[in-house]
């Protein structure tokens, strides 16, 4: 294994404000689960070591009563074998689920069981576990690996267990760092903490930590923000890891890795086609038996049950619903927080109040920015609410299949819609 990786792995980081900030991200129960798992992986500090009954307890004054229970001080505990002591400590953590505060659990972890400090792998695991459970705390940008023509498919078949060692092998000549990998289903989380210029036992700040998510067996990754001085080195190491020739910034950003993966990996099965991907079809369409269909009361849906409210013509509402089902499908839409539209289309007003009283072929540039918790879902809701008219422009109804936050729309007579829609290059 890479010597740099081994060196940083061996460094222990003692109790400090920066370390507690990482630990305190987790709930009490989560910390107890982590501690129980660590008991089988990392060495723990014995309370007083393996001592005789008559050994003086003064050496244990470094541990205070707030962190240790009376049972930990008993001579019988000090005579336990390593396996017996681990079982004893595990029981203490289980007892703390109901009887102790989160602060006491943290104190026990940092000042008793790992009093010599947590190593880099433990800290990276705490950090990766937290952000993999709270990914919306980061802004993610998509990237695409470009392979040569020969053997491109085989190059994305990488064992996630080998990523940590291989990535550090390529990165260590340029940057002193620590790498950690965590796999959750089809997402492989990669954490790189940069230690250049830091004294030993000093944790890197959050600005010195870079995160990536690789969608397993695909050419797409997501990356968090990184400093310019490291970018080329880190991207070069990733290219060598995946045996790619180029890394392309893809014009797609967002806060939900799950939604971004849907947009990137399932571009051709969004909208009304999503029901095929999600197997939402009749298992036996040729069956002659009666099929029960739930008929939705449109009046109930749009008046919320308040009968004193008069809904619009229900035929118009039904027409809107059919349009939405055709263009957007029956499932919820992937989440995008921001979409930028650059419309370079001819100005076509014929108002007599303007000197421009004719259709001109010159483009009239307009930039539109749509923002919200889920822009595509918001666009979808405009038609049923009667805010927008159908049919909507294609550059809005097909956003779910474009895998981009930014598009440019230009006039093109060769297109059936008269418009050419292209993703805008990432800045």
Query: Any idea where the domains of the chain sit in the sequence?
Result: 13-51+65-119, 134-254, 297-423
d(CA 352, CA 357): 6
Confidence of residue 326 (pLDDT cuts 50, 70, 90): confident
Q: Which residue has the higher pLDDT, 285 or 137?
A: 137
d(CA 295, CA 222): 42
Least confident span in 246-250, 330-334, 396-400: 330-334
Least confident span in 56-70, 117-131, 147-161, 217-231: 56-70
Fold of the domain built from segment(s) 297-423: Ubiquitin-like (UB roll) (3.10.20)
Tens digits of per-residue pLDDT, 235-268?
A: 999 999 999 999 999 999 999 999 999 989 887 6
Percentage of the chain with pLDDT > 70? 74
Q: Which CATH architecture has domain 134-254?
A: 2-Layer Sandwich (3.30)
Beta-strand pair 406-411/338-346: parallel
Tens digits of per-residue pLDDT, 341-377?
A: 998 887 665 544 444 444 556 788 889 999 999 998 8
Tens digits of per-residue pLDDT, 273-290?
A: 555 555 555 555 555 555
Q: Would the pLDDT of 52 be above 50?
A: no
d(CA 336, CA 373): 7
338 DSSP β-pair partners: 371
Torsion of Cα atoms, 281 then 287 then 290 then 296, to 10°: 10
User: Tokens in use for 377?
Assistant: 């879902």
Contact partners, residue 137, CB within 8 Å, separation at least 6: 131
Same fold, 134-254 and 297-423: no
d(CA 17, CA 28): 18
* pTM, to two decimals: 0.80
């Amino acid at each position: 294994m890479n010597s740099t990786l081994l060196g940083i792995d061996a460094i222990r980081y003692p109790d400090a404000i920066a370390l507690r900030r990482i630990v305190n991200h987790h709930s009490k129960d989560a910390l107890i689960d982590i501690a129980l798992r660590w008991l089988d992986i990392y060495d723990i500090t014995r309370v007083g070591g393996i001592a005789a009954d008559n050994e003086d307890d003064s050496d244990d004054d470094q541990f205070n009563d707030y962190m240790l229970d009376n049972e930990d001080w008993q001579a019988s505990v000090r005579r336990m074998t390593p396996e017996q002591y681990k079982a004893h400590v595990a029981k203490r953590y289980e007892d703390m689920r109901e009887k102790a505060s989160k602060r006491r659990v943290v104190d026990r972890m940092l000042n008793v069981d790992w009093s010599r400090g947590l190593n880099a792998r433990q800290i990276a695991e705490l950090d990766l576990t937290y952000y993999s459970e709270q990914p919306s705390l980061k802004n993610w940008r998509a990237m695409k690996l470009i392979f040569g023509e020969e053997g491109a498919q085989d190059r994305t078949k990488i064992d996630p267990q080998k990523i940590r060692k291989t990535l550090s092998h390529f990165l260590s000549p340029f940057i002193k760092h620590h790498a950690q990998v965590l796999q959750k289903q089809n997402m492989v989380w990669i954490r790189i903490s940069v230690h250049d210029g830091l004294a030993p036992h000093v944790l890197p700040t959050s600005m010195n930590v870079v995160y990536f998510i690789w969608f397993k067996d695909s050419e797409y990754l997501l990356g968090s923000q990184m400093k310019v001085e490291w970018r080329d080195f880190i991207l070069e190491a990733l290219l060598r890891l995946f045996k790619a020739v180029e890394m392309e910034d893809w014009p797609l950003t967002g806060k939900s890795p799950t939604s971004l993966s849907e947009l990137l990996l399932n571009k051709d099965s969004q909208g009304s086609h999503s029901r095929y991907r999600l197997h939402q079809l009749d298992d036996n369409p040729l069956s002659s038996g009666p099929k029960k269909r739930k008929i939705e009361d449109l009046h109930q849906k749009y008046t919320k049950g308040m009968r004193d409210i008069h809904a619009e013509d229900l035929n118009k509402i039904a027409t809107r619903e059919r349009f939405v089902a055709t263009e957007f499908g029956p499932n919820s839409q992937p989440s995008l927080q921001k979409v930028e539209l650059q419309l370079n289309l001819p100005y076509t007003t014929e108002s007599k109040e303007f000197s421009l009283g004719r259709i001109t072929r010159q483009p009239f540039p307009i930039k539109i920015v749509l923002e919200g918790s889920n822009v595509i879902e918001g666009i979808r809701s405009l038609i049923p609410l009667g805010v927008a008219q159908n049919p909507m422009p294609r550059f809005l109804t097909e956003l779910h299949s474009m895998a981009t936050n930014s598009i440019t729309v230009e006039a093109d007579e060769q297109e059936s819609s008269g418009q050419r829609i292209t993703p805008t290059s990432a800045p």
